[in-house]
Amino acid sequence: MEAKFTSLYSGSDKNCLVLAYGRTNLLIDCGGSMKAIRERLTSLDMGLEDISALLITHDHIDHINALKTLVKNTDMKIYSSYGTHKAIYKSGIDMNPHRRIIAEANTVFDIGDIGVEPFATPHDAAEPFGYNFYCGEKTASVATDLGHIPQNFEHTVKGRDFLFLESNHDITLLNQTNRPYSLKKRILGEKGHLCNQISADFASGLALKGLKRLMLGHLSGDANNPPLAYRTAAETLERRGIKVREDILLGVAMRGTLSETVCF
Ligand SMILES: [Zn+2]
Ligand SMILES: [Zn+2]
C-alpha cells in the first residue's frame, strides 16, 4: 500500500498539505480558505468529509486561516500542541473540547492507519510542531517554519522515505526587498524561517543517509521563487555527489497551486 503526499498550496501566505494512506487522509494546516481547500481536494477526488483529522503545526495565520470555518462546517478532529490550542482559543476560535486533541512532542499516536509523532520546532509561535508520519513500513516528515536547524534535528527526521522541508527565502533577495528591518531580522532570526541554502545543506546531509524524495515548501513570494529554491537544492545535492532524479526526487511546492502527488 502506498502513501501519497500532496501540497494543496504552500508559501509564506498560506499552507495546506494532505497525506493519504490506507483509509486515512490527514490535512496538515489549514491556511487559505475552506473554499480553496475544498476546491483543491476535489481535484484529488476527495472531499472535506474524507479528511480523517486536521493537524496544526502552529498558530500563525498562514497555517490556520480556514480553521474557524472548518470548525463551524465540519466535525473533523483537530490535533496540535497544548500551546497552539491555547493560542487558537485566545484568538477567538472556540471549539467543542471533544474535537480538540492535545498532542505531545515525541509521542507517537495513531490516527486511523497513520502513526503520528509530533516534534518541537524553533519558531516564534506559541508551541510549534513538525510531524513525523508512519504509514506501514513507510515514513515521512513535515518540517516547516524553522528558524534554524537545531542540534540533533537530523536524528529527528532522518531515514524518512519522504521529507517536506521549508525553503523560505534567498538571503540576498530578502535583503533586497523593501520590508522593514525588524521583519527581515525576524525572518533571518533563530526562530524565523529557513533560507534556501541552509535547507539545501540540511537536506543533502539527509540524502547522503538515504532520503529519496524531497519537496521544498513555504516559499516566500518576494524573497524566493521556485526555480531558485530548486536550483539551490539541486546544486548542493550534486556537489555532494547526489544525482537529482536518479538518487533523489526533488520537487517544489507552489504557493497557489497543487503540487505533484508524491507516492512512497
Ligand atoms: Zn508559516
Ligand atoms: Zn509561522
What is residue 65's predicted lDDT score, i.e. its pLDDT? Answer: 98
What ligand is nearest to the CA atom of residue 58? 2
Residue 122 backbone zone (phi > 0: left; psi -120 to 50: alpha; other: beta): beta
Ligand 1 centre to CA of 62 (Å) is 5
**Structure-block grid coordinates of residue 179:** 520590508
- Calculate how far, in angstroms, residue 104's C-alpha sits from the geometric centre of ligand 1: 21
How far does the centroid of ligand 2 lie from the alpha carbon of residue 240, in Å? 30
CA dihedral 246→40→59→71, nearest 10 degrees, is: -140
207 CA from centroid of ligand 1 (Å): 24
- Residues 167, 232 contacting (CB under 8 angstroms): yes
pLDDT at site 52: 98
CB of 135 within 8 A of CB of 238? no
The per-residue pLDDT for range 159-198, each reduced to its tens digit, is 999 999 999 999 999 999 999 999 999 999 999 999 999 9
Residue closest to 166 by CA, chosen among 27, 78, 62: 62
Look at the block and give the residue holding cell 527581515.
Answer: 184
Q: How far apart are CA 172 and CA 10, in angstroms?
A: 22
Residue spans of the chain under pLDDT 70: none
Give the Cα separation of 105 and 259 in Å (integer): 28
Confidence at residue 94, expressed as pLDDT on a 0 to 100 scale: 87
Distance 28 CA to ligand 2 centre (A): 14
Å from CA of 60 to ligand 1 middle: 6
Q: pLDDT by residue (tens digit) across 71-94? A: 999 999 999 999 999 999 999 998
Pick the ligand that lies closest to the CA of residue 147: 2
Cell of 72: 463551524
Q: How many whole angstroms from 247 Cα to the centroid of ligand 2?
A: 31
